[in-house]
Amino acid sequence: MKNALSLKGKIAAGLAAATLLSSTGVAFANSNAGTQFGVWADARIQAAQNAVGLALGLSKANALNTLQNETNTKKNTAVSEVNTAAQTESNATQAAIQAKLDEHLASLQNAFNSYSSTLGAKFDAFVALQNAATQSLFSQKVAELTGQLTTAITSAQAAGVEKVTEESLLKKSQATSDLIAKINKVKADLQALINAEQNTATTEVNAFLTSQVNGANTTLNNTIETLKANAVAAFAAAGQDVEDSAILNFDKVISRLDKETPIKVDVQKLKVIDLGIIDGNRTYKVENTNEFDVVYKWKLTFTNADGVSETKSKEGSAAMGVSYFNTPVLGGVVIIQWQNENGDWVTGSIYN
pLDDT digits (tens, 9 = 90+) for 294-308: 888 888 777 777 888
Using DSSP's 3-state secondary structure scheme, residue 27 falls into: coil
pLDDT digits (tens, 9 = 90+) for 63-112: 788 878 878 887 788 778 778 877 887 888 788 887 877 777 777 777 66
Euclidean distance between CA atoms 292 and 290, whole angstroms: 5
Using DSSP's 3-state secondary structure scheme, residue 307 falls into: strand
Q: How far apart, in Å, do the first and last CA atoms of the chain sit?
A: 19
What is the chain's alpha carbon radius of gyration, rounded to the nearest angstrom? 55
- What is the mean pLDDT of the segment spanning 181-187? 92
Euclidean distance between CA atoms 284 and 305, whole angstroms: 14
Q: Which residue did the predictor score with more confidence, 49 or 329?
A: 49
pLDDT digits (tens, 9 = 90+) for 331-352: 567 788 888 888 888 886 666 5
pLDDT digits (tens, 9 = 90+) for 14-48: 433 333 334 434 444 455 888 988 999 999 999 98
Q: Give the pLDDT of residue 63.
A: 79
pLDDT digits (tens, 9 = 90+) for 122-154: 667 766 776 666 667 666 776 787 888 889 899
The helix (H) or strand (E) run that includes residue 269 is: none
Q: What CA–CA distances, in Å, run from 3 to 213, 234, 300, 323? A: 38, 13, 15, 15
**DSSP code at position 260:** -
Q: Say whether the peptide bond before residue 262 is cis (omega within 30 degrees of 0).
A: yes
Euclidean distance between CA atoms 270 and 286, whole angstroms: 7
310 exposure class (CB count in 10 Å sphere: 0-12, 13-18, 19+): buried
User: With 70 as the cut, is the pLDDT of residue 261 above it?
Assistant: yes
Using DSSP's 3-state secondary structure scheme, residue 310 falls into: strand
Rounded percentage of the chain residues whose pLDDT exceeds 70: 81
